[in-house]
């Protein structure tokens, strides 16, 4: 069923070891699937229509066209594809240019991999995501609060509902619920639903 499908991801980076490491991390996530990995942005873009990814992870320094040029082309020709920059560049101008080109998140390779996983889940749910380290550089504030929909999902989680039951209750597909649950777990820094609910109770999201 479509609503059981994982987030479909393409990785574009010209360092084979880096690509292998990224793909290994993503491969461990039950809600994510790497459907392509490329060293060349031009070829990667030529594969977008046939592979239909949800998210593209894009380095800025690439052979041929640059990551910025690739982001602009993706934003123009495939606006539904969410682009996350994954790079070693930490300068504010690099960040500003990437966001202006159409990227919806900016992750620095030296960060913990949890940042990348959180970014993928957030941008897939339709948001932008800048980790605090990046927000500080560009003078923006991080957005760590849960959305109204995520709070609804959290309350139903606290009632013991499954993803399928939550989807039926809210009138959304189960795949979307899984994404919201992933964002909640990432935001709370926990690995399972039980600890998410306990954290929600402790922080006042859920009243006992």
Q: Is the model's pTM score more than 0.75?
A: no
Where do the domains of the chain lie? 2-138, 148-203
2-138: CATH topology: Rossmann fold (3.40.50)
Residue 57 host element (H or E): strand 55-58
**Tokens read off for 102:** 């159409």
Report the 10 Å Cβ neighbour count for 174. Answer: 18
Residue 38 host element (H or E): strand 32-38
Quick one: CATH architecture of 148-203?
Answer: Orthogonal Bundle (1.10)
Q: pLDDT tens track of the chain, all 208 residues?
A: 345 789 999 999 999 999 999 999 999 999 999 999 999 999 999 999 999 999 999 999 888 888 999 999 999 999 999 999 998 877 666 787 888 899 999 999 988 899 999 999 999 999 889 888 887 766 643 444 678 888 899 999 999 999 999 999 999 999 999 989 988 888 888 889 999 998 888 766 776 6
């Amino acid at each position: 069923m479509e609503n059981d499908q994982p987030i479909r991801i393409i990785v574009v980076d010209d360092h084979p070891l880096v690509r292998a490491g990224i793909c290994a991390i993503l491969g461990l996530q039950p809600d994510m699937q790497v459907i392509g990995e490329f060293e060349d942005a031009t070829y990667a873009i030529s594969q977008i229509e046939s592979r239909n990814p949800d998210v593209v992870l894009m380095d800025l320094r690439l052979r041929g066209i640059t990551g910025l040029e690739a982001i602009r082309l993706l934003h123009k020709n495939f606006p539904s594809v969410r682009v996350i920059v994954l790079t070693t560049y930490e300068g504010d101008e690099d960040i500003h240019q990437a966001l202006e080109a159409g990227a919806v998140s900016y992750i620095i390779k030296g960060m913990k991999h949890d940042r990348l996983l959180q970014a993928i889940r957030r941008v897939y749910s339709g948001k932008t995501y800048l980790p605090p380290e990046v927000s500080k550089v560009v003078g923006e504030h991080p957005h760590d609060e849960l959305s109204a929909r995520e709070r609804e999902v959290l309350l139903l989680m606290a009632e013991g509902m499954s993803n399928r039951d939550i989807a039926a209750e809210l009138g959304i597909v189960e795949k979307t619920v899984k994404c919201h649950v992933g964002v909640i777990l990432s935001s709370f820094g926990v690995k399972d639903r039980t600890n998410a609910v306990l954290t929600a109770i402790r922080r006042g999201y859920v009243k006992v």
